[in-house]
Amino acid sequence: MIRQELKKLVVYGFFLAILLIPMLGFRTTTFEPGRAFKTLGVFMAVLVLNFVVKIVRSRKKKDVGAQKPPLTERIGERINRFPRIYTLGGLLAAAAIFPMFADNYMIDVGITCLIYVCLGLGLNIVVGLCGLLDLGYIAFYAVGAYTYSLLNLTYGVSFWAALPLGVVLGMVVGCIIGYPTLKMRGDYLAIVTMGFGEIVRLVLNNWDSLTAGPNGLFGMKRPALYYPSFAEDGFGWAAYYLKSLPALYYCILAIAILTIFAVRRLDNSRIGRAWIAIREDEVAAELSGVPTTWVKLLAYALGAAFASVAGAFFAAKLSYINPNFFLFMESCIVLCIVVLGGVGSIPGIIVAAFVLIAAPEVFRGLQNYRMLAFGGIMTTMMIIKPEGLIPASRRRRELHEGNQLTPKD
């Protein structure tokens, strides 16, 4: 055990040295191995710590005999034992009073997190439930954003009226990309969807007369609340525009909660089961009488609908959009949220959205090393918890129980 771990330590150290010394050591004029070694030292310290923890743990294991379940699972069990309504109520209350304690910067990060919660949950339908790897998901976000912006700027359509139109358009675009890819699977599907995402962005970038190209669109109205007013000219509706950050925060919070409810319902529905069946085995699903064509198109359309809503809100919040908000990188981040959270797991995705969006902000203090730390965390997570932060019960069974049950025959 100890020898094995020591060996690992040496190999890791060597690997890191190869990686870091050329990267950090060479400057254009001088060779400064000191810098590299400093960083290497930090990494090695972490690895040594890990080594010590493992050794100590293995000692303990021998003493106790029985293995304790990992910490996250124990926490999960605690939470499960706690009455659900209190947990949910507590979380909701925390989310509700958050803007009262947070400064504008934190609220802004919170809003971004909630937008990504919506995106993650929407992509979860396509990737997590239906098993279709979509790398161009951000295109639907762009469709929602541009639909609202253009409707609002050209015709003065209000946010809430534009929302259903954006959803419909998002679903149509979802079906347009979905239809030609119906027969594709895996890598091919990923490449085609990625291409589609880029096509949408390039169209937005180059269709100057409609989208103003790279200059982007600006001046969209914020979402508004309407209340009856009895001003000079009698009864009418007055609009209260949600301009302040806390107001926008509550707006996206409401949208996110609605999304969570909708996705939960879908997850437990007949359609949800059909999606999972397709993910598991498409031929078998077809033979069980699942109309695979329609069910897959529906997954694309509904996933696109949620992204479209998030996109419309994004455009309304910022009052400015341009095609560079919808880069391939964004699709990747949303996919990371789904995978990191635990494919198919709603609470996991919510947590992951907060972790992934907030983490780069937290690491701002690290300056240039911000993304390095971010990447490091992602990699470590995938190694130690491949099933995600809060795995869906199905995945957890697959990855852990599966090892214990050896098939006979």
Partner 1 sequence: MTNPQPILELSDVHTYYGNIHALKGISCSIPKGDIACLIGANGAGKSTTLMTIFGVQRASQGEIKFKGQPIEKLRPEKVAALGVSQTPEGRQIFPRMSTHENLEMGAFLRKDKSEIEKDMAWVFSLFPILKDRMRQLGGTLSGGEQQMLAIGRALMSRPELLLLDEPSLGLAPKMVEKIFQTILEINKSGVTIFLVEQNAHMALTISGTGYVMETGRIVLTDKASALLKNERVKKAYLGE
Q: Which of 273, 370, 385, 400 touches partner 1 by CB under 8 A?
A: 273
Q: Which of 66, 231, 283, 384 touches partner 1 by CB under 8 A?
A: 283
Nearer to partner 1, 221 or 396 (CB): 396
Listed in sequence order, the residues at least 6 apart from 177 whose beta carbon sits closer than 8 Å to its beta carbon are 136, 139, 193, 196, 300
Binding of residue 183 to partner 1 (CB under 8 A): no
Q: How near is the Cβ of 188 to partner 1 at its closest, in Å? A: 16
Listed in sequence order, the residues at least 6 apart from 208 whose beta carbon sits closer than 8 Å to its beta carbon are none
| C-alpha triplet 145, 147, 153: angle, nearest 5° | 100
Q: Which of 285, 299, 321, 350 touches partner 1 by CB under 8 A?
A: 285
Q: How near is the Cβ of 272 to partner 1 at its closest, in Å? A: 12
Nearer to partner 1, 139 or 290 (CB): 290
Nearer to partner 1, 291 or 376 (CB): 291
Q: Which of 74, 185, 265, 270 touches partner 1 by CB under 8 A?
A: 270
Task: Report how many residues bind partner 1 under the rule CB under 8 A.
Answer: 28
Nearer to partner 1, 64 or 405 (CB): 405
Q: How near is the Cβ of 396 to partner 1 at its closest, in Å? A: 11
Q: How near is the Cβ of 213 to partner 1 at its closest, in Å? A: 43
Nearer to partner 1, 324 or 393 (CB): 393
Q: Is 36 helix (H, G, I), strand (E, B) or coil?
A: helix
Q: How near is the Cβ of 348 to partner 1 at its closest, in Å? A: 16
Nearer to partner 1, 276 or 377 (CB): 276
Torsion over CA: 398, 402, 403, 409 (sign)? negative
- In whole angstroms, give the CA distance from residue 395 to residue 63: 31
Length of the chain: 409
Nearer to partner 1, 81 or 408 (CB): 408
Q: Which of 64, 66, 100, 287 touches partner 1 by CB under 8 A?
A: 287
Helix 328-341, helix 346-362: angle, nearest 10:
120
Nearer to partner 1, 59 or 270 (CB): 270
Which range binds partner 1 by CB under 8 A, 51-59, 76-84, 259-267, 278-286? 278-286
Question: Is 189 within 8 Å of 132 (Cβ atoms)?
Answer: yes
Binding of residue 228 to partner 1 (CB under 8 A): no
Q: Which of 290, 298, 321, 389 touches partner 1 by CB under 8 A?
A: 290
Closest CA to 248 of 303, 324, 325, 312: 312
Q: How near is the Cβ of 129 to partner 1 at its closest, in Å? A: 12
Q: What is the DSSP letter of 232?
A: T
Q: Which of 18, 91, 238, 284 touches partner 1 by CB under 8 A?
A: 284
- In whole angstroms, give the CA distance from residue 372 to residue 360: 10
Q: Which of 288, 324, 379, 380 touches partner 1 by CB under 8 A?
A: 288
- Give the H/E segment covering residue 400: none
What separation in angstroms does the CA of 353 have from each of 31, 124, 145, 287, 399?
40, 12, 20, 37, 23
Question: Is 349 within 8 Å of 120 (Cβ atoms)?
Answer: yes
- In whole angstroms, give the CA distance from residue 121 to residue 115: 10
Nearer to partner 1, 87 or 293 (CB): 293
- In whole angstroms, give the CA distance from residue 207 to residue 219: 19
Torsion over CA: 144, 150, 155, 159 (sign)? positive
Q: Report CA 100 to chain centroid distance, whole Å.
A: 26
Subset of 384-403 contacting partner 1 (CB under 8 A)? 394-395, 397-398, 401-402
Nearer to partner 1, 61 or 270 (CB): 270
Q: Is 224 helix (H, G, I), strand (E, B) or coil?
A: strand
Q: Which of 83, 219, 234, 289 touches partner 1 by CB under 8 A?
A: 289
| List of residues contacting partner 1 (CB under 8 A) | 270, 273-274, 276-277, 280-281, 283-293, 394-395, 397-398, 401-402, 405, 407-409
